[in-house]
Amino acid sequence: MSTLDWGLKNRLSRIIKTDGRTVMLAVDHGYFLGPTSGLEDAEKTIKPLLPYADALMPTRGIIRTSVSSSTETPMVLRVSGGNSILDEDLSNEGLTVSMEDAVRLNVAAVAISIYVGSPNQKETLLNLTKLVDEGHRYGIPVLAVTAVGKSMGRDARYLALCCRIAAELGAHFVKTYYCDGFEKVVKTCPVPIVMAGGKKLPEMEALELTYSAISRGAAGVDMGRNIFQSDSPVAMIQAVKAIVHDNVTPKKAYEIYKGLKARLKSKKSKVKGVTASRKELSRH
């Protein structure tokens, strides 16, 4: 890491905090899934969560339409795509954003999916190397996302292979799934690993998953649906943060979640009450 250029290191340090940890909020789903549940109105979903995220992972379309330009939260910009959920084989991705536009958007990092063992493995890996070369030219770190094809297993042997390849090809940090033997995946990867959230789980299970990944060496999470599809997204992101940055247990984090959820709910109903009585008064 010490051999990296100052600008690249500085950008990375905005994402991965001084404790070596990060809570990234993934909201890039639409690039191949379209209007994902919870992100139909992206601006409305992102706005209250942004102050709690160490970094946001959007597409450039979502940055420009749905994120305030005055935010201090660093952006990890999704720059691969070209596929859609309608494809049989999702691995047919190319680069979708030039490094010039990434610089224009003042992003802290760029993110690309790699599909190891899939029909387009070579192309996605060469896209990664191209991006790393350009990232070094401009001082922008690259996050490699180990996308898993529909037919691939998510075991430690496979994920360790993907993460190591990503790091060998120059990725500055890697996003991968949790699995049994996750510590092996972390130990054999020389760059930080953030855990991908995956499909929505009950809150307690998502917190347990976060704890398992952190206690086995993950540098944090890059979580989407388990936060923005939660009953209380603002409470959930703070509970996840408590595990990632304060090492609290899943049980304690769940208590934090429940407490914040209740407080936010009563605040909302008070605001509703005030609005209703104002309307009532204005009628008289």
Beta strand ranges found along the chain (DSSP E)? 22-26, 55-57, 76-78, 80-81, 94-95, 109-114, 142-146, 173-176, 193-196, 220-223
Cβ contact 109:172 at 8 Å? yes
Instruction: Choose among 23, 116, 27: nearest CA to 127.
Output: 116
- Which of 175, 187, 199, 252 is catalytic? The answer is 175
* Shortest reach from residue 32's CB to ligand R5P, in Å: 8
Cβ contact 239:203 at 8 Å? yes
DSSP β-ladder status, 55-57 and 76-78: unpaired
Name the amino acid, one letter, at 86: L
Query: What are the residues binding ligand R5P (CB under 6 A)?
Result: 26, 28-29, 113, 145, 147, 196-198, 223-226
* Shortest reach from residue 281's CB to ligand R5P, in Å: 44
Q: Within a 10 A sphere around the Cβ of 220, how many other Cβ atoms?
A: 30
* Shortest reach from residue 113's CB to ligand R5P, in Å: 5
Q: Which is nearer to ligand R5P, 147 or 160 (CB)?
A: 147
Q: Which is nearer to ligand R5P, 9 or 94 (CB)?
A: 94
* Shortest reach from residue 229's CB to ligand R5P, in Å: 8
Q: Which is nearer to ligand R5P, 26 or 102 (CB)?
A: 26
> Active site includes 258?
no
Q: Which is nearer to ligand R5P, 119 or 273 (CB)?
A: 119
Active site residues: 175
